[in-house]
Amino acid sequence: MTEFDFGQSALRTIELEALAVAELRGHIDEQFNQACRQILKCTGRVIVSGMGKSGHMGKKIAATLASTGTPAFFMHPGEASHGDLGMLTRADLLLAISYSGSSPELVTLLPLIKRLGVPMISLTGTPKSVLAQAADVHLSIAVEREACPLTLAPTSSATVTTVLGDALAIALLEARGFTAEDFAFSHPGGSLGRKLLLRVSDVMHGDDKLPMVHKHDTLARALLEMSSKGFGMTTVTETNGTLSGIFTDGDLRRCIDRGVDIHSAQMHEIMNYSPATISSDTLAAEALNLMESRKITALVITDEQRVPTGVVHLHDLLRAGVI
């Protein structure tokens, strides 16, 4: 038995699908612009529907639209005829996907879609098909050749459908001025969501957990405060309560090297006068960046009057999943 050249087959598939995607550029025309305008003026949701492989692509397109600022979900056309059409309201828009443009399950819905007055955008490979002709806007997903040598399995056409869906989603995202923070609200459980939504105020330690001594307190007093609070540092304040500086484990090591008397030395003599500080509404990801750039493990949070209100440690950001 001759060894089959799997790599050559894979390369051929990639080349054919890449060619199909390149040809998609010719289909981005006024119909595409009109589709985007229709979706932007839709006050409801974009309901995506398709059978078989088109349905799988439709689920992906619906998910991408929903996560990029366009409310959308997938409706199975077969189930739609048995009650799921109730998902559709007059304020919605239907995005129907069928390469042949004549999927029976979708064609069956057309009279009901027309009665509801729901605008429809179709994605088909046949501009003269039933779905293409019935749609308010038709987008072509036609390909010259499927990557499948039997021309049976939707391969190049499936890729083109996905790419066109992405093109729609990103064009709408940019038109809406959708931001990274907006994206994060759709992904609160992901690492991006944590980085863009989590604030220092969500993870900081304040009130009686904040280590604090006065600048005229002794080093011995500061060490007790540091030990009881467990952050490896303490804030040092002025008489009026504003931040004067900080003292850390690293500062302690340097004091020991210099032979400083812990019972007589006062904090204003040995503290760091230029500590890194942030406000409580700063993104936790920004706090992490500051820690990394300064090579420190804790930050002091201050208010507008430079009064210390809390402390955030690198371990807090680790536990929150920011890293």
Please report the pLDDT score of residue 83 as a whole number.
84
Please report the pLDDT score of residue 182 as a whole number.
62
Please report the pLDDT score of residue 288 as a whole number.
87
Task: Report the alpha-carbon distance of residue 128 to residue 286 in Å, rounded.
Answer: 54
Choose one of 113, 145, 178: the last residue of a domain: 178
Number of domains in the chain: 2
Identify whether residues 232 and 306 lie together within a single domain: yes
Closest CA to 186 of 282, 281, 65, 88: 65
Identify whether residues 64 and 119 lie together within a single domain: yes
Assigned domain for 61 exists: yes
Assigned domain for 285 exists: yes
Choose one of 110, 144, 178: the last residue of a domain: 178
Given a cut of 80, whether residue 2 has pLDDT beyond it is: no
Given a cut of 80, whether residue 133 has pLDDT beyond it is: yes
Given a cut of 60, whether residue 193 has pLDDT beyond it is: no
What would the two tokens of residue 57 be? Answer: 């692509």
For residue 86, what is the DSSP state? G
Identify whether residues 130 and 60 lie together within a single domain: yes
Identify whether residues 233 and 138 lie together within a single domain: no
pLDDT digits (tens, 9 = 90+) for 34-43: 999 999 999 9
Query: Residue 46 maps to which CATH number?
Result: 3.40.50.10490
Q: Decide: 95 and 58 in contact? Cβ < 8 Å.
A: yes
Rounded to the nearest integer, the mean pLDDT of the chain is 90
Identify whether residues 204 and 173 lie together within a single domain: no
Vertex 73 angle, CA 72 and 74, to 5°: 140
Given a cut of 60, whether residue 237 has pLDDT beyond it is: yes
Assigned domain for 185 exists: no
Identify whether residues 10 and 106 lie together within a single domain: yes
| Domain of residue 143, residue span | 6-178
Provide the whole-model pTM: 0.66
Given a cut of 90, whether residue 181 has pLDDT beyond it is: no
Closest CA to 24 of 136, 164, 184, 132: 164
Identify whether residues 157 and 264 lie together within a single domain: no
Task: Report the alpha-carbon distance of residue 287 to residue 322 in Å, rounded.
Answer: 10
Ranked by mean pLDDT, the top range of 188-192, 218-222, 288-292 is 218-222
Task: Report the alpha-carbon distance of residue 219 to residue 135 in Å, rounded.
Answer: 78
Assigned domain for 191 exists: no
Helix (H, G, I), strand (E, B) or coil at 302: strand
